[in-house]
């Protein structure tokens, strides 16, 4: 005779995971930053609409892996979208500095400090960047949260 099985309750009864959302959002922001840098380097143009793609990519990753409907997921998506855009722009500056200064990119990235990164972003900032950063943040915010109707239901 077998014993009746007990229902298994998940560690997180709501089914969402902010740590998974963070991890997925970081990966998406990194991939988006790299893609934006590649597009910019290969075309020679800073195409701001790629920032919107970064926002969507990050937001979708946060929603898909976080499975959350709380506003914290939206804030996470917005912040990571902005960081992805800033990282993409910083990477572009580093790549061009590497090409123009005949210094390996690896050397530039290894010597990067937070103060230097901020300085490089400030020096290359253009007012139009605000528009695209804003759109990316909006996309990251908008797509990071499951609608309340789709929120996972706790297992009983």
130 domain-assigned = yes
Q: Is the pLDDT score of 52 beyond 90?
A: yes
* Mean pLDDT, residues 117-130 taken together: 93
Domain of residue 52, residue span: 18-144
In a domain, 8, yes or no: no
Q: What is the pLDDT of residue 10?
A: 46
| More reliable by pLDDT, 10 or 33 | 33
Report if residue 77 sits inside a domain.
yes
For residues 92-103, average pLDDT: 92
How big is the chain, counted in residues? 156
For residue 52, being part of any structural domain is answered with yes
56 vs 58: CA distance, rounded Å: 6
Q: What is the pLDDT of residues 2-31, one digit of tens each?
A: 555 554 444 454 678 999 999 999 999 999
Q: Is residue 124 part of a domain?
A: yes
Q: Say how many domains are in the chain.
A: 1
Q: Does 107 fall in a domain?
A: yes
Decide: 56 and 41 in contact? Cβ < 8 Å.
Answer: no
In a domain, 121, yes or no: yes
What's the confidence (pLDDT) of residue 66?
Answer: 95
Is residue 132 one of the residues assigned to a domain?
yes
For the stretch 123-128, contacts whose Cβ atoms lie closer than 8 Å and that sit 24 or more positions apart, written own/partner, are: 124/89, 124/93, 128/48
pLDDT greater than 80 at residue 154: no
Average pLDDT over residues 126-130: 92
């Amino acid at each position: 005779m077998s014993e009746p099985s007990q229902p298994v309750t998940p560690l997180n009864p709501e089914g969402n995971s902010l740590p998974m959302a963070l991890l997925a959002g970081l990966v998406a922001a990194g991939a988006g930053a790299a893609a934006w840098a590649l597009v910019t380097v290969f075309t020679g143009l800073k195409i701001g609409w790629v920032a919107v793609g970064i926002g969507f990519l990050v937001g979708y990753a946060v929603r898909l892996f976080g499975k959350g409907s709380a506003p914290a997921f939206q804030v996470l998506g917005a912040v990571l979208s902005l960081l992805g855009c800033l990282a993409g722009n910083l990477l572009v500056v580093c790549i061009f500095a590497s090409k123009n200064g005949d210094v390996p990119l690896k050397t530039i990235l290894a010597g990067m400090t937070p103060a230097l990164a901020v300085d490089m972003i400030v020096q290359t900032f253009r007012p139009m960047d605000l528009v695209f950063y804003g759109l990316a943040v909006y996309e990251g915010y908008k797509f990071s949260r499951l609608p309340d109707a789709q929120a996972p239901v706790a297992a009983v």
